[in-house]
Chain A
């Protein structure tokens, strides 16, 4: 394999590994093309740590030469000379993972240390997607011929009989030429034909014309999503776009457009060719501007929050001020209240809503997903939630590859990174806290997803959209995470033992007092979470015991 050229030192003995929640261990360190493997060789324990290199966000290395006489060579830059391979030299690599774990390796031998550091640096951010681990991962309990994915838009449409009167499945995008970030099939009003769609696509950024994402069975209202209209400075119009939206509210008096930008941002977007739906052209639509943070600002918020969580000053004022200053919880609050507004428009006010920001691939998906969780009980089961994520994030074209390239520790210059998906998981966790019996999945699932989105054995989050995944042959050459999470053993761990189906909408409280820091994720590697995990375990056991007894007391003799 060509990875070997990046691996100068593959094995080092006598390495000390320090990791959270475990005592330090001494053993052998091994670097492969995709993994860092540490095996403890101490008597009585056989601790093994297998870390996906992709999970590594940043490393810090420090080398020192313990022999004073060789002080001349103590400069790391001289390590190439080979003279540094003195018995007393050693190095330390601090590994900061995308799942926020921090590991430390004490490696004897300066050269080995530097070699390993270099290998990690290179292999943890390989550019070529086809070299990523999912293409090599071959678990024994699954076959590449297994079903990939949980559903498709075609299946979704065929199951939703109530849609068939007014909505149709369009394959105008079958070769991804109309909208590169949309899946091949989309649901649109019946009265709009594919020619119209092509025209509308030209009027929307990235071709993301309005498509149906949720149908509210109780009143037939829908949530549509798209990107911003390309009105530009000279207020261009697109009749087809207007007709399409008119067709959406057919029979109703009005609809709402929730724009996830501030009015000012939306107006400014005209200067760069974007824009908003004007009142005069879309007279039946009422626009609501709700500013949501996106992109770089969100990434910086995450970085600040993680930095606050790692602050060891033990000072309450400093912690609270850093927590506030990170603004992360404000973003959670805004996301949940915008989603609440969206759901209220549909469920309470009884009108259809179009959601978009600028590109329609981030905050748009965030609030449409949350609104569906609030309103639709079928999204709240384990399968339902995963299917929702598959449809609204993977298939709808959230650019995972770009957004999750780096996490909070990376020193790399920010490009397209933004923790929108993480923000979604945090908001879902808040819902779960407020309605602990209403969601069919556990916190463990959210944590697993948060890890998998950044570094995974599976192909699910590879690429930025369906087009890229098709080109890479993700379906044919990798395994599907969502399928794996539904296998019996995983299902036990990721389902909520307290789950109880309810038809009611679950309206979250968005008061600051009601929202909490997601300790399970942000402080995951502190010892305190252990006690909380024990409590979850206790809950599971209580429910299991009760279930068993209930079962055994069901009249077996009858």
Chain B
């Protein structure tokens, strides 16, 4: 490819971030899609693969005697520090990566070159796997209160909204169009979630263009129609998710918020969630803390506090709880908006859905929810995730915060979710990886124009095919935690730092044994045993019928070692850095071959685990599964492993 100035550099060192004394020497390759580091060590072929689209920033540091250092930060929070012997080479690698990681045109995105030789016909089932209309049908729509409107066909009313929208039965096209003219980007109030138990609904929109005094009759009628769609209720909430000050400031620009006097029977409420710029800076600050080399406990906690990150997560969850309670407990409909109605509104509506509806706490349900509230309603993934070279001020971890809210809920209700944290982390990776077409573009219109359904693959069907990896063994559909509205606590002490995401690649920090994997193994075996038992019983019954007691029952010998047990034996570990460099002077102890069970490595076979893989990066599994080959010939598994494990 024309952007690769240097395809291969030898004698590159990959520094270990936590203990820089440990470093690995190898060869660095640049390919069209990946940076690959191959360790030179006799016997083992350890590889680290980094997808170019995951590269977030590159820093070239001043050259030293040992070489020039290149620091790569990735969007999945991996940090790699290479030391390249010659300054010239480092410069070339730096320039190449800079270009490769920032595509200028959409067709340069990885998803268009990932498994391209499959025709559109074959791709269709992947994309048809999720059907939003089916989800609306599940909610009981359309019905006598809500109808499917065709007003936004061809994206004529709002170019950032989906074509299919649900509106109150009584809302006529002129009212809708009138209302849309009074809302930022034409994003008029429309349905996001409907509770068929009590008819209460969550609606979403952008801010009204009310300025200091403007009114819009159609907009008022639109809200009136939403209110009337909930026959048991005599008022509705209008929730502005911005801090009041921000909303007031918007009035000066001819935007703003609803005046309670102009709209009949609304209760107006501000919920101060900060804007995308605050969130971006907050995450950046938190990541600086996560990357501190050996922080003291105080450094870490102080840094975490001053980043404000958990405070923001709490604000989003608090807002979601407010809406969920209004719908489930009061039976009152809610209209949610922020400024444009694609960031905070999306977060809050989807968090409320997770709290309200057990379906969204299942594997398929969460995918549908993201498809509905995030993708179809026009969360600007391309801008927020910086898929293409663009304005850095548009970047913001809005979706990260949603995934984290779900994770925080999972920590409080360990039995309530069908999926595990690995599922969330995998989704997170793929939102940024550009490997699948789902998160490309900023809205449905752009996605249609890009022909993503015809030219790329869908993440959802990939996740569904591999769902065994993402099941929470503690989930039971009939468990009390699973039922109805979740009532989480948002006391500050309930919020935890999400180590598994933000320090995902610092293997040494994670628990060395996984209860979840152990339980999954047990669960699988329990299932097998039950089936065995059932078939035995059946046989006995048969035999009894045939009165053939002389034939002895041959029980299948049971090997009392499910897969979950075995990784324990492979489990090993090395001391952490307790000494502060004390032992460096003594002759280095031969470190035992380290294998750690981790989310990626335990998916691989036992034989891979037991060969000497590296504990800190856990990349041995990659080398066995993703040979250096043409993109087109790779199977999906190897690619998944390539960047999520490297």
Tell whether B304 is near chain A: CB-to-CB under 8 Å: yes
From B30-38, B132-140, B212-220, B509-517, the one touching the partner chain is B509-517
Q: Return A397 CB to nearest CB of chain B, in Å.
A: 27
Q: Looking at the complex, which one of A320, A338, A510 makes contact with B492 (CB distance below 8 Å)?
A: A320
| Partner-A contacts on B (CB < 8 A) | 18, 290, 294-302, 304-305, 308, 310-311, 314, 412-415, 473-474, 476, 479-481, 489-497, 499, 503, 506, 508-515, 518-519, 522-523, 525-526, 529-530, 532-533, 552-558, 560, 565, 568-569, 571-576, 578-579, 582-583, 586, 589
For the complex, what is the distance from the CA of A320 to the CA of B290, rounded to whole Å?
16
Q: Which of chain A's residues 210-246 have a Cβ closer than 8 Å to chain B? A: none
Cross-chain contact A553 with B297 (CB below 8 angstroms): no
Judge whether B558 and A512 touch: CB under 8 Å.
no
Judging by beta carbons under 8 Å apart, are B473 and A338 in contact? no
Q: Is B414 within 8 A of A531, CB to CB?
A: yes
Q: Assess the A514–B552 pair: CB atoms within 8 A.
A: no
Contact A553 B515 (CB under 8 A): no
Report the Cα distance A507→B591, complex, angstroms: 14
Evaluate whether A519 and B578 lie within 8 angstroms (CB atoms) in the complex, with A436-B515, A556-B555 already known: no
Question: Closest CB-CB distance, B189 to chain A, in whole Å?
Answer: 31
Additional A-B contacts beyond A329-B301, A333-B297 (10; CB < 8 A):
A319-B493, A321-B302, A323-B301, A327-B298, A434-B513, A436-B511, A510-B578, A511-B18, A512-B300, A558-B555
With known contacts A327-B298, A436-B511, A340–B576 Cβ distance under 8 A: yes
> Within the complex, what minimum Cβ distance (angstroms) separates B308 from chain A?
8
A321 CB contacts on chain B under 8 angstroms: 302, 305
Task: Kindly specify which of A7-15, A55-63, A341-349, A440-448 makes contact with the partner chain.
Answer: A341-349
The reply to whether the CB of A554 lies closer than 8 angstroms to some CB of chain B is yes
CB distance from A333 to the nearest CB of B (A): 5
What are 26 A-to-B residue pairs whose CB atoms are below 8 Å?
A316-B310, A324-B301, A324-B305, A332-B297, A341-B578, A349-B583, A434-B511, A502-B568, A507-B574, A507-B575, A511-B294, A511-B508, A513-B509, A515-B297, A526-B489, A526-B491, A531-B413, A534-B479, A535-B414, A538-B414, A538-B415, A553-B532, A553-B555, A553-B556, A554-B555, A556-B555
CB distance from A426 to the nearest CB of B (A): 13
Q: In whole angstroms, how far apart are the Cα atoms of A335 and B179 in the complex?
A: 63
Q: Which of B290, B413, B492, B565 contacts A318 (CB 8 A)?
A: B492
Take A330-B298, A513-B300, A531-B412 as given contacts and tell me if A320 and B310 are in contact as well, using a CB distance cutoff of 8 Å.
yes
- Of A28-36, A141-149, A377-385, A541-549, the segment with at least 4 beta carbons within 8 Å of chain B is A541-549
Task: State how many angstroms separate the Cβ of B291 from the closest Cβ of chain A.
Answer: 11
Q: Does A185 contact B (CB under 8 A)?
A: no
The distance from the CB of A345 to the nearest CB of chain B, in whole angstroms, is 9
A434 contacts B575, C-beta separation under 8 Å:
no
Report the separation of the CA atoms of residues A526 and B311 in the bound assembly, to the nearest whole angstrom. 21
Q: In the bound complex, do residue B518 and residue A343 qualify as a contact, i.e. CB atoms below 8 Å apart? A: no
* Chain B residues closer than 8 Å to A128, beta-carbon distance: none
Minimum CB–CB distance for A412 against chain B, Å: 27
Verify A319–B522 contact, CB threshold 8 A: no
Known: A538-B479, A553-B555. A512 touches B295 (CB 8 A): yes
A437 touches B297 (CB 8 A): no
**Contacts known (A538-B474, A539-B474); A330 close to B492, Cβ less than 8 A:** no
State how many angstroms separate the Cβ of A279 from the closest Cβ of chain B. Answer: 16
Chain A residues, Cβ within 8 Å of B299? 512
CB-CB nearest 8 A-B residue pairs? A319-B492, A512-B300, A340-B578, A324-B301, A320-B305, A535-B414, A555-B555, A549-B529
- Say yes or no: A513 contacts B557, CB within 8 Å: no
Complex Cα gap A213–B264 (Å): 78
Q: In the complex, A553 Cα to B480 Cα: how many Å?
A: 31
On A, residues with C-beta under 8 Å from B are 288, 309, 314-321, 323-324, 327, 329-330, 332-333, 337-338, 340-341, 343-344, 348-349, 433-438, 498, 500, 502, 504-517, 519, 523, 526-528, 531-532, 534-535, 538-539, 542-543, 545-546, 549-550, 552-558
CB <8 Å contact, A348 and B576: no
* A502-B571, A517-B493, A542-B526 given; A511·B474 CB < 8 A: no
Collect the chain A residues with CB atoms within 8 Å of residue B576's CB: 337, 340, 507-511
B533 and A552 contacting across the interface, CB-CB below 8 Å: yes
Interface contact tally, CB-CB below 8 A = 200
Distance to closest chain B CB from A399 (angstroms): 27
How far apart are the CA atoms of A93 and B572 in the complex, in Å? Answer: 53
Residues of B within 8 A of A329 (CB): 297, 301
Complex: A557 Cα to B523 Cα, angstroms: 26
- Asked if A341 meets B492 with Cβ closer than 8 Å, knowing A320-B301, A437-B515, A542-B523, the reply is no
Q: Which of A337, A437, A506, A556 has the most CB of B within 10 A?
A: A437
* Interchain CB contact under 8 A, A527 and B515: no
Given contacts A314-B490, A549-B529, A555-B555, contact A330 B297 (CB under 8 A): yes
Give the shortest distance, in Å, between B565 (CB) and chain A (any CB): 6
Q: A320-B492, A519-B493 are in contact. Are A437 and B304 (CB under 8 A)?
A: no
Q: What separation, in Å, do the CA atoms of A512 and B298 have in the docked complex?
A: 9
Taken together as a complex, chains A and B put the C-alpha atoms of A330 and B296 apart, in Å, by 7
Inter-chain contact A546/B525, CB cutoff 8 Å: yes
The answer to whether B503 touches A513, judged by C-beta atoms less than 8 angstroms apart, is yes
Q: Name the residue on B nearest A328 (C-beta).
A: B297
Separation of A498 and B474 alpha carbons in the complex (Å): 14
Q: Does the CB pair A435–B558 fall under 8 Å?
A: no
Whether the pair A531, B481 counts as a contact (CB closer than 8 A) is yes
Q: Which residues of B contact A539 (CB under 8 A)?
A: 474, 515, 519
Q: Are A511 and B575 in contact (CB under 8 A)?
A: no
Q: Is the CB of A555 within 8 A of B557?
A: yes
Instruction: Report the separation of the CA atoms of residues A409 and B479 in the bound assembly, to the nearest whole angstrom.
Output: 37
Contacts of A323 in B (CB 8 A): 301, 493
How far, in whole Å, are A556 and B490 apart by their CA atoms in the complex? 53
Closest to A506 in B: B573
Given the known inter-chain contacts A514-B509, A550-B560, A553-B556, please indicate yes or no for A324 contacting B526, CB distance below 8 A: no
Known: A320-B310, A513-B499, A513-B503. A504 touches B494 (CB 8 A): no
Instruction: Choose among B304, B492, B493, B518 the residue that contacts A498 (Cβ–Cβ < 8 A).
Output: B518
Cα of A316 to Cα of B301 in the assembled complex, Å: 12
- Which residues of A are found within 8 Å of B511, using beta-carbon distances? 433-436
* Known interface pairs A329-B297, A542-B526; A509-B305 also in contact (CB < 8 Å): no
Cβ–Cβ contact A542 & B575, under 8 A: no
A552: which B residues are within 8 A, CB to CB? 533
Which residues of B are found within 8 Å of A498, using beta-carbon distances?
A: 515, 518
Nearest CB in chain A to that of B557: its residue:
A555
Question: Do A512 and B415 contact each other (CB < 8 Å), given the known contacts A314-B490, A348-B589?
Answer: no
- Asked if residues A436 and B513 are in contact (CB atoms below 8 Å), the reply is yes
Q: How many Å from the CB of A330 to the closest CB on chain B?
A: 4
Known interface pairs A329-B297, A436-B511, A436-B513; A504-B495 also in contact (CB < 8 Å): no
* Distance of A344 Cα from B578 Cα, bound (Å): 8
Cβ contact within 8 Å between A512 and B492: no
**Interchain CA distance A366-B299 in the complex, whole Å:** 25
Chain A residues positioned under 8 Å from B300 (CB to CB): 512-513
Q: Chain B residue with minimal CB distance to A320?
A: B305
Contacts of B568 in A (CB 8 A): 437, 500, 502
List chain A residues, Cβ under 8 A from B533: 549, 552-553
Most A-side CB within 10 Å, residue of B308, B415, B532 = B415
